[in-house]
Chains A and B, each alone.
Chain A
Amino acid sequence: MSSLTLKKKPARIIPGFHLSLGYTMLYVSLLVLLPLSMIFINTMSLSWAEFIAIISDPRAVASYKLSFGTALTAGLLNVVFGTIIAWVLVRYNFPFKRIIDGLVDLPFALPTAVAGIALTSLYAPNGWIGQFFDFKIAFTPLGIIIALTFIGLPFVVRTVQPVLQNISAEIEEASASLGATRLQTFTKVIFPELAPAILTGFSLAFARALGEYGSVVFIAGNMPMKTEITPLIIMTKLEQYDYAGATAIATVMLVTSFVLLFTINIMQWLANRRFVH
């Protein structure tokens, strides 16, 4: 009997499990949970009636609709066009492909205010693009959607790209040899493989768009009840030293975002379940 066989605990192949788990917990708590819980703690200083009054203020309610509506639209637009861009970047070879590939990341790197100013000057009624349209683009929800689509673009492209790269040409050939048309091959074989990645990209782009402030304030015009986004309302309240009011609205955003992201995660888990058993 060697002493090794007496050890009941199975040995892990890669060491450092406890250390890395402890570190992860601490990191997530310090960086995510603690700051977020401050929002609730600050909100606690309000009475329930005050809280309800603040969050159900018509101006706030209009801003929720605008923020969630535009973020959702921008996320969906990015799903469509981001997937197309990822497809083109993976499947085709063309001159300056690497440069275009690099350009995709630019919305990440650009200070959002710069993006906002640039987009506003383009889409303003007398701007380069805005002048060709009979209706206003900048200073309307349409302008907000454009800004949010801009800043959310890299998410879908960068999540779909590697998955698409890993899909072997063989399964497309198998589909074709079984008599499927190209459209059927895409909808029945390729898209289901991409779906989890697209969902991830969508939730990232959507979450980013919800919290976006810098690029939107310029192009939105910030008219109360019309083009005022929720982060702006929070900002306004903060500037008036109404911390409790600001955190009350932030609570609404936080809870709603959490519920939405949680739902997306469940959908993703369902979509992924078949791949990993």
Chain B
Amino acid sequence: MSIQIQNVSKRFGTFQALQDISIDIQSGELIALLGPSGSGKTSLLRVIAGLETSDVGEIFFDGQSITNHHPKERNVGFVFQHYALFRHMTVFENVAYGLRVRPRKTRPSKAEIEAKVMELLRLVKLENFADRYPTQLSGGQRQRVALARALAVEPKVLLLDEPFGALDAKVRKELRRWLRKLHDDFHITSIFVTHDQEEALDVADRIVVMNNGKIEQIGSPDEVYTHPNSPFVYDFLGNVNLFKGRLHNGKLTHGEFAIDVPDSHAHTQDDAVGYVRPHDTQIEKTAVTGTVPVTVSHIHLLGPIVQIELRREDMDEFLEAELSKEHFHVLQLNVGDHVFVRPKQLKVFIPEDFSI
């Protein structure tokens, strides 16, 4: 089912949670709503589910407005961050709930319900836990029950609110891969909320980056990561080094340091900022034009990659570089070494939200 969100705004008291949000979601897409806490991502998800009503704007499922429909009429599966399982029901009863509360006319028979529930429990690999109560399960298992419960009603849309937020790193990774696989098998339009950029980049077809109740950027994971359209998106999607300077004649300059910025000849700006990812921050042993002198202040060995903290010698600022272990051994860096840094992929943002 396709979803159109048109000009949705929502205000809680004096707090503007959502501000003129419009998104078009294709049928079968897996969308991530990514943003810091308080960015409105959960509010938007709840508005789509009907758990919250928008002040302005409309929501369409397959072209039909469902703006004023009650949650139970929307045929939406909602998975809560803290699972929201029914504690007094077994795993089986939890999953069967959505089928058992149907009006008699559309309610499947007892045998059908049982078959359906067991099928779902097999899908989430919990068929041996049908008689357990939620308190007897681990966090990851509870989240899988919550997912099976949401899928039992055969929703047209699956909404997940920080589904893996409360789990530890390993289970999290496992579950999100599994969610991706599930989505590829079922092709159910899904939207999940997360504040973890890695999760969004790993799983989603498209990412909606939100901040202060507004959409910052919509695009594929690659698009938002390599072509962020604002400093916020650049900053939120990964670590970043800042090069402040003056933009003039196609160069970003600061004191001795000058680097070419293609396509910027038309602009002259005094307080421009260049953004570089740590893995695009190249370390050179000798000075060349367009490099900054730095001192190695810390070396963090993180398995296959090496993170290096560098202190700029021309000003009191730190940079971060990331390189592979092999490259690190070739360079033979030690703490205290004087080296030079060259930004490979510089993205310059100047105020008024203009980017080159």
Contact = CB atoms under 8 A, between A and B. Distances in A.
Q: Do A and B come from one complex?
A: yes
B98 A178 contact: yes
A192 interface: yes
B329 to A, nearest CB: 45
Interface in B38-90: 49-51, 70-72, 74, 76-78, 80, 82, 84-88
Nearest to B87: A275
A170 B101 contact: no
A219 B76 CA distance: 57
A188 B51 contact: no
A178 B151 CA distance: 9
A37 interface: no
Give the dominant DSSP class at A's interface: helix
A248 B313 CA distance: 97
B153 interface: yes
B254 interface: no
Contacts of B133: 274-275, 277
Interface in A155-203: 168, 170-171, 173-181, 184, 188-189, 192-193
B269 interface: no
Given A179-B153, A180-B97, A277-B136, A174 B80 contact: yes
Given A171-B84, A171-B86, A192-B88, A177 B71 contact: yes
A276 interface: yes
Given A180-B101, A188-B101, A277-B136, A174 B84 contact: yes
Contacts of A175: 86, 97, 101
Interface in B143-176: 149-150, 152-153
Interface residues of A, number: 21
B72 A176 contact: yes
Contacts of A193: 87-88
Nearest to B149: A178
Contact of A276 (B76, B82, B98, B135): B135
A19 B298 CA distance: 56
Nearest to A167: B87
B101 A173 contact: no
Contacts of B82: 168, 170
Contact of B101 (A178, A192, A274, A275): A178
Contact of B71 (A168, A176, A192): A176
B101 A174 contact: no
A173 B72 contact: no
Given A170-B80, A188-B101, A275 B88 contact: yes
A184 B88 contact: no
Contacts of A178: 72, 97-98, 101, 149-150, 152-153
A192 B93 CA distance: 13
Which of A177, A184, A192: most chain B Cβ within 10 A? A177
A192 B97 CA distance: 14
A157 to B, nearest CB: 22
Interface of A: 168, 170-171, 173-181, 184, 188-189, 192-193, 274-277
Q: Which 6 A-B pairs have the closest CB atoms?
A: A178-B98, A170-B84, A180-B101, A174-B84, A177-B78, A192-B88
Interface of B: 49-51, 70-72, 74, 76-78, 80, 82, 84-88, 97-98, 101-102, 133, 135-136, 149-150, 152-153
Given A174-B85, A176-B70, A193-B87, 5 more contacts: A170-B80, A173-B51, A176-B71, A178-B150, A275-B135
